[in-house]
Amino acid sequence: MNDDDVEAVATVLRGDWLTTGPTVAAFERALEQLTGADRCVTVTSGTAALHVAYAAAGVGPGDEVVTTPMTFVATASSALALGATVRFVDVEEDTANIDPEAVAAAVTDRTTVIAGVDYAGHPIEIDAINEIASRAGALVVEDAAHSIGSTYRGRPVGSLADLTTFSFFPTKNLTTAEGGAVATLDPDLGARAHRFHNIGLVRDPDLLRHPDEGPWHQEVHEWGLNYRLPDVLAALGHSQLRRLSAFKARRAEVFARYQQGLAGVDGIRLPTRRAHVDPIWHLYPLRVLEGRRRTVFEAMRADGVGVQVNYLPVYWHPVFEDLGMRRGMCPNAEAFYAEELSLPMHVELTDDDIDRVIDSVTTALRG
Ligand SMILES: *Cc1c(COP(=O)(O)O)cnc(C)c1O
d(CA 64, CA 80): 10
Mean pLDDT along residues 18-44 = 98
CATH, domain range 244-366: 3.90.1150.10
Expressed in angstroms, the distance from the first to the final Cα of the chain is 37
Helix axes 231-241, 22-35, angle to 10 degrees: 30
CA distance readout (Å), 214 to 159, 195, 198, 218, 219: 40, 21, 21, 9, 12
Probe residue for ligand 1, chosen from 43, 47, 312 as the CB with the greatest number of ligand atoms within 8 Å: 47
Considering only CA atoms, which of 259, 283, 301, 267 is closest in space to residue 344? 283
pTM of the model: 0.98
- CA 13 to CA 17: how far, in whole Å? 8
Percentage of the chain exceeding pLDDT 70: 100
- Index of the ligand 1 atom closest to the CA of residue 168: 7
Q: Rounded to an integer, what distance in angstroms lies between the CA atom of residue 199 and that of residue 266?
A: 54
Nearest CA to ligand 1 atom 7: 46
Quick one: pLDDT at residue 97?
98
* pLDDT tens digit sequence for 294-321: 999 999 999 999 999 999 999 999 999 9
Residue-wise pLDDT for 217-241, tens only, equals 999 999 999 999 999 999 999 999 9
Mutate to test the pocket of ligand 1, among 72, 118, 172 (most ligand atoms within 8 A of CB): 72
Nearest CA to ligand 1 atom 2: 145
Mean pLDDT value across the chain:
98
Q: Where in the chain is the domain with CATH 3.90.1150.10?
A: 244-366
Task: Compute CA distances 233 → 13, 118, 311, whole Å.
Answer: 10, 25, 28
CB of 279 within 6 A of ligand 1: the answer is no
CA 348, CA 125: separation in Å to the nearest integer?
Answer: 30
* Residues with catalytic roles: 172
Ligand 1 in reach of 116 Cβ (< 6 A): no
* 71 Cα nearest atom in ligand 1: 13
Predicted local distance difference test score (pLDDT) of residue 367? 83
163-174 mean pLDDT: 98
Q: Report pLDDT for 360.
A: 98
Domain with CATH 3.40.640.10 in the chain: 3-241
- 3-class secondary structure for the chain? CCHHHHHHHHHHHHCCCCCCCHHHHHHHHHHHHHHCCCEEEEECCHHHHHHHHHHHCCCCCCCEEEECCCCCCHHHHHHHCCCCEEEECCECCCCCCECHHHHHHHCCCCEEEEEEECHHHCCCCHHHHHHHHHHHCCEEEEECCCCCCCEECCEECCCCCCEEEEECCCCCCCCCCCCEEEEECCHHHHHHHHHHHECCEECCHHHCCCCCCCCCCCEECCCCCECECCHHHHHHHHHHHCCHHHHHHHHHHHHHHHHHHHCCCCCEECCCCCCCEECCCCCEEEEECCCCHHHHHHHHHHCCCCCECCCCCHHHCHHHHCCCCCCCCCHHHHHHHHHEEEECCCCCCCHHHHHHHHHHHHHHHHC
Q: Is ligand 1 within 6 A of the CB of residue 117?
A: yes
Fold annotation for 3-241: Aspartate Aminotransferase; domain 2 (3.40.640)
CB of 71 closer than 6 A to ligand 1? yes
